């Protein structure tokens, strides 16, 4: 049950990352990916007598927080430089 929810949230996060145009919504999708992983950690830790997964869930949260801080800083920077957070308009990498 829990693992299925994790898979579903992961897939939804993936969809959000791929389809949404706004960079901030994309970041929200990434947060959802992290959360799906965390559900897995906690779910498995439940069956593990050492509960090691819980510590890892905390570490993942820290990483998610770090990611959010840096990514949002980048988004702000880009928004200030280019005046938009629409990913379709940010195509400096076009080959």
Partner 1 sequence: MLTIGFTALALTGGVWLVLTPRVLHAALALLLTLLAVAALFVLQAADVVAAAQLMAYVGGVLVLTLFGIMLSTPGAAGPSSDAVNRLSGWALGGLTFGGMAWILAHTSFEALPWRAAASGETNAVAPDSVVAMGTDLLTTAVLPVEIASLVLLVALIAAATIAGGEPTEEEPVA
Partner 2 sequence: MPYLAAYAVLLPLLVGALLLLTGERLRFVTGGLAVGAVAGSLALALTVFAQHWNAAPAGTTWAWFNVGGQPFTVGLWLDNLSVALLALVPLVAFPVFVFAAKYMRHEARYAAFFGQLLLFVAAMLALVLARDLLAAVVAWELVGFASWLLIGFWFTKPEAATAARQAFLLNRLGDLGLFVAIGALRAAAGTLDLPALTAAAPQLLTSQPALLALAGAGLLLAAVAKSGQWPLTPWLPDAMAGPTPVSALLHAATLVAAGAYLLLRTYPLLPAEVRAAAAIIGASTALWAALAAQRETDLKRVLAYSTASQLGYVFLGVGIGAPVAAALHLLAHAAFKASLFLNAGLVTHAVGHAAAPDKMVDPQDMRLLGGLRHALPRTFAAYVLAAAALVGLPLTTGFLTKEALLAGTLVWAGGAGGGGIAWLVPLAALGTVGLTARYMARHGKLIFGGSEARGVFRISQVHEAGSRAEAPLALLLPVTGLAALALWLTLAPNPLHVAPGWAARGLLMPFPGGLPEVGGLAVWLPLLSVALVGGGVWWGLQAPVPATIARPARISLAVFWHQRAPAAALGLARIVARFDHVGLDRQVLRFGKTVVVVAKLTAWTDRRVVDGAVHRLAAALGGLGRLARAAQSGQTQGYYRWAVAALLGAVAWVATR
Is 37 a residue that touches partner 1 (CB under 8 A)?
Answer: no
Which residues form the interface with partner 2 (CB under 8 A)?
A: 14, 17-19, 26, 87-88, 90-95
Q: Contact letters (x/-) for partner 1, 1-30, by CB under 8 A? A: xxxxx-xxxxxxxxxx-xxxxxxxx-xxx-
Q: Tell me how far apart the alpha carbons of residues 74 and 23 are, in angstroms, rounded to a whole number.
A: 10
Is 65 a residue that touches partner 1 (CB under 8 A)?
Answer: yes
Distances (CA, A) of 58 to 7, 34, 68: 20, 11, 15
Question: Which one of partner 2, partner 1, none is in contact with 30 (Cβ closer than 5 to 8 A by kind)?
Answer: none
Nearest CB to partner 2, comparing residues 40 and 57: 40
Show Cβ contacts of residue 2 under 8 Å, excluding neighbours closer than 6 positions.
39, 42, 43
């Amino acid at each position: 049950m829990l693992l299925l929810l994790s898979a579903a949230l992961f897939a939804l996060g993936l969809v959000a990352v791929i389809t949404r145009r706004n960079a901030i919504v994309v970041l929200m999708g990434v947060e959802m990916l992290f959360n799906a992983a965390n559900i897995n950690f906690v779910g498995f830790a439940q069956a593990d007598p050492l509960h090691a997964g819980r510590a890892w869930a905390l570490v993942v949260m820290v990483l998610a927080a770090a990611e959010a801080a840096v990514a949002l800083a980048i988004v702000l920077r880009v928004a200030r430089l280019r005046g938009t957070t629409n990913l379709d308009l940010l195509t400096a990498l076009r080959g």
